[in-house]
Structure 1
Amino acid sequence: MRDGGTVKTIHVLFTSVGRRVELLRAFRRAYAELGLRGNIIAVDADPLAPALQEADRPYIVPPLSEPSYIPALVEICRRERVHLIFPLIDPDIPVLARHRRQLEATGARVVVVSEEAAAVAADKWQTYQFFRRWNIPTPRCWLPEHIHPADLEYPIFIKPRFGSAGRQAFKVRNRRELEFFIDYVPEPILQEYLPGPEITSDVICDFEGNVLAVVSRQRIEVRWGEVAKGKTVYDPEILRHCVTVAKALNAIGPITVQCMLRDGRPCFTEINARFGGGVPLGIAAGVPAPHWFLALAAGLPIEVPPLGAYRVGLYLTRFDDSFFLTEEDYARVASCRV
């Protein structure tokens, strides 16, 4: 790391911050707990992204699909002397992984999985094959060209092969609905339908790929693809498989692993190689990931409890909050471009 030794100033950049106010506040608390200096830098394409209001240094960047996106991030990293970069939405992950060398030439560490692992997580068909290859229980999946609709046992589940945040995912009850949704859902993948409940696990790895913690939470209610109500749970089988996933991917930083229960046993469905939307629940339950990442970046020791040592039965219930911006406030944020 820069400054020649133990770093006491750590600047963290989050891409596509959107609504992730709670996560940025958790990092701010971690700064205070550790006695570290540093700025929280947040970027988004939308000047009204709420989490920009929580950042020390907000920036408006081009959309991810624009060729100027990575050059904008590189300029911000240089200008702000960024130490750590975390993506907060799935589409950012393969882009950051692909341009890791360019970004890390600024002195920053890109806290994302490799390009190969990013491809596995982004493509739900590859995810399914990955689970099978590593003997991780998973529901059966099909691509449309592999099926005969009359032979399927309904209901089934359909979702975009490259989707995220639960968008355009539907329960399909019969052949007529299947014919409609195969045309409606972009690049669909079909999955054996499991009623749940759904368990999401935050898997926290250090910068060398060592698994520091796994904390599992049941999703009780979901809104906009993100947990609105949930509770922490513990299942040794889920923990064991999550460790296998992290090691097989050579994961660094945070990843989330999703499964559905069938007769009380987990069937794994998806991997998101980033902080999950419900990670504040895991932090509150005793897995202080922001604290650990800042400490590791600063060269400070961390105390890691045994795997599975977190508070079980802790509930999360979310509510809406608001920032209010004047025309001048909006213009100020919108002008923070590179």
Structure 2
Amino acid sequence: MAVNVLVFPCGSENALEIHQALTHSIHVQLFGASSVDDHGRQLFDTYCGDLPRIDDGRFDQAFEALLAEWKIDLVFATHDTVQAYLSERAQRFGVRLVNGDPDTCAIARRKSLTYAAFADQPWIPITYTSPEEVEAWPAVVKPDLGQGGQGFARVSGVKDAYATLERTHLPLLQEYLPGEEITVDCFSDYQHELRWVGARHRERVRAGISMRSTFPGPDPVIDDIAATLNQRLRLRGPWFFQLKRDRQQRWKLLEISCRVAGSMVAHRARGVNLPLMAIHDHLQRRVSPLPLPEIDLVERRILTVAQLNCHFDTVYIDFDETVIRDGLAIPSTLNFLYRMHFKGKRLILVTRHAGDPRETLRKARIAVELFDEIIHITDGRAKSEFIRGNAIFIDNHFPERLDVATHCAIPVFDVDALEFLS
């Protein structure tokens, strides 16, 4: 029996990671919801994009109704404020929230509460009550409620500090940490055991997202910090914390979070699927990470998806330089064709291939049966003469696309565009 899993909000980078981490699992049925129409529409087969915001008085009733309609068992919250809000209501909603202990979420949401809860630890940064207390400049001002470095400012002296404190909402004034920064992804199970601690360097960051990750060697100090956080907080599922070195190269805690981080994909690339571990933990199965240390670098890039605003039931596709090149299958085209087959579209090969297209398909190790029909044009007629119904047409040759677009009035695509079509 599958676990019905809701990702909310479902259009963010970490929502994408949860989707990709769980989409192939036979144990999961995925659902996505957001309060604004977003990229989640492209990801989730079952999607709602018009929920009220959590600060709207209508949210609780609408969210509870959606949970009931979709029979949701487990919720991943992808924003810290949403995580804290839902943690106070999940029990009443009759659903389990991953890492949803209300007290833990409240502590993680505010840096001041985090620092107070671990004030006896040497890895808590120095916080000042006024600029006059600062022992060494520069110092930093950051919001108590915030994440991903938002609102961070370095201040050079007393006057600068007062001005920055004045314009920052719920500000904290702290020591400046000039050293390296790392993120540590963790997993705690239903028996409160810490099952995974994995540090990663964020070597290249764009818009707060780590695009290049490497992995430092073992560090007992990091392990001890993770163990202490897990011991004092009620954590269950994926969570993470961030550290930075001070002027004496000692690790200091920046923040902790009870949600999945978008760049946890770096560990999934190394064989540790933290969102999927949460599903098995939900079923009270003991999880055991199996990392691949041979992978020491993870690079990311922007993914672009286009929404095709028309109905089609058939894909007509050219053969040479579209499905095959130099006698070999083009992997991106095969990926597209199988996606369309999965969605129930008819696949029709339409070609002027010089030989027998069926034999060439076999030599390229492409199943002839992938295509519902093969149209082999040998008399010079235009491909547009063979196209019928609600269809799209793919061909690497522009004159062929122009002919079909002109005479059949259907969408036409070159091979490079296939990656955009979901």
**TM-score normalized by structure 2?**
0.67
Question: Which segment is superposed worse, 203-212 or 245-254?
Answer: 203-212
- Seen in structure 2, the aligned counterparts of structure 1 residues 282 and 56 have a Cα distance that, compared at 3 Å, is same
Whole-Å Cα distance in 2 between the matches of residues 295 and 222 of structure 1?
Answer: 31
**Which residue of structure 2 lines up, in the alignment, with residue 97 of structure 1?**
87
Tell whether the 8 Å contact from 2:17 to 2:264 is kept in structure 1 after alignment.
no
Tell whether the 8 Å contact from 1:214 to 1:242 is kept in structure 2 after alignment.
yes
**Which residue of structure 2 lines up, in the alignment, with residue 170 of structure 1?**
153
**Which residue of structure 1 lines up, in the alignment, with residue 23 of structure 2?**
28
- Seen in structure 2, the aligned counterparts of structure 1 residues 272 and 299 have a Cα distance that, compared at 3 Å, is closer
Cα deviations across residues 17-63 of structure 1 (Å, max 9, x unaligned)?
Answer: 2323233111113x0xxx33x4211111121x223321121112111
Tell whether the 8 Å contact from 1:113 to 1:249 is kept in structure 2 after alignment.
no
**Which residue of structure 1 lines up, in the alignment, with residue 393 of structure 2?**
none
Post-superposition offset of 1:128:
1.2
Whole-Å Cα distance in 1 between the matches of residues 267 and 41 of structure 2?
Answer: 23
Tell whether the 8 Å contact from 2:98 to 2:278 is kept in structure 1 after alignment.
no
Q: Which of 257, 261, 266 lines up with 1:276 in the alignment?
A: 261
Give the paired residue count. Answer: 306
Secondary structure of the structure 2 residue equivalent to 1:11: strand
Whole-Å Cα distance in 2 between the matches of residues 175 and 313 of structure 1?
Answer: 47
Whole-Å Cα distance in 1 between the matches of residues 102 and 271 of structure 2?
Answer: 31
Tell whether the 8 Å contact from 1:128 to 1:269 is kept in structure 2 after alignment.
no
**TM-score normalized by structure 1?**
0.83
Post-superposition offset of 1:327:
5.9
**Which residue of structure 2 lines up, in the alignment, with residue 66 of structure 1?**
56
Post-superposition offset of 1:264:
4.2
Are 1:87 and 2:72 matched, yes or no? Answer: no
Are 1:324 and 2:306 matched, yes or no? Answer: yes
User: Residues 249-288 of structure 1 correspond to what in structure 2 (within 5 A)?
Assistant: 249-262=233-246, 263-288=248-273
Structure 1 unmatched ranges of 5 or more: 1-7, 330-338
Question: Which segment is superposed worse, 117-126 or 151-160?
Answer: 151-160
Higher CA-based Rg: 2
Question: Which segment is superposed worse, 277-286 or 292-301?
Answer: 292-301
**Which residue of structure 1 lines up, in the alignment, with residue 65 of structure 2?**
75
Whole-Å Cα distance in 1 between the matches of residues 204 and 261 of structure 2?
Answer: 15
Q: Which of 117, 127, 139 lines up with 1:141 in the alignment?
A: 127
Secondary structure of the structure 1 residue equivalent to 2:80: coil
The share of aligned pairs that are identical, in percent, is: 21
**Which residue of structure 1 lines up, in the alignment, with residue 211 of structure 2?**
228
Question: Which segment is superposed worse, 272-281 or 319-328?
Answer: 319-328
User: Residues 160-199 of structure 1 correspond to what in structure 2 (within 5 A)?
Assistant: 160-199=143-182
Post-superposition offset of 1:303:
3.3
Secondary structure of the structure 2 residue equivalent to 1:278: helix
Whole-Å Cα distance in 2 between the matches of residues 22 and 280 of structure 1?
Answer: 6
Whole-Å Cα distance in 2 between the matches of residues 91 and 183 of structure 1?
Answer: 23
Tell whether the 8 Å contact from 1:96 to 1:112 is kept in structure 2 after alignment.
no
**Which residue of structure 1 lines up, in the alignment, with residue 398 of structure 2?**
none
RMSD: 2.3
**Which residue of structure 2 lines up, in the alignment, with residue 246 of structure 1?**
230
- Seen in structure 2, the aligned counterparts of structure 1 residues 184 and 68 have a Cα distance that, compared at 3 Å, is same
**Which residue of structure 1 lines up, in the alignment, with residue 4 of structure 2?**
11
Q: Which of 107, 113, 119 lines up with 1:132 in the alignment?
A: 119
Which structure ranks higher in relative contact order (CA pairs < 8 Å, sequence separation ≥ 6)?
1
- Seen in structure 2, the aligned counterparts of structure 1 residues 317 and 45 have a Cα distance that, compared at 3 Å, is same
Tell whether the 8 Å contact from 2:131 to 2:161 is kept in structure 1 after alignment.
no
Post-superposition offset of 1:245:
0.1
User: Residues 35-74 of structure 1 correspond to what in structure 2 (within 5 A)?
Assistant: 35-36=26-27, 38-47=28-37, 49-60=38-49, 61-74=51-64
Tell whether the 8 Å contact from 1:136 to 1:268 is kept in structure 2 after alignment.
no
Structure 2 unmatched ranges of 5 or more: 312-422
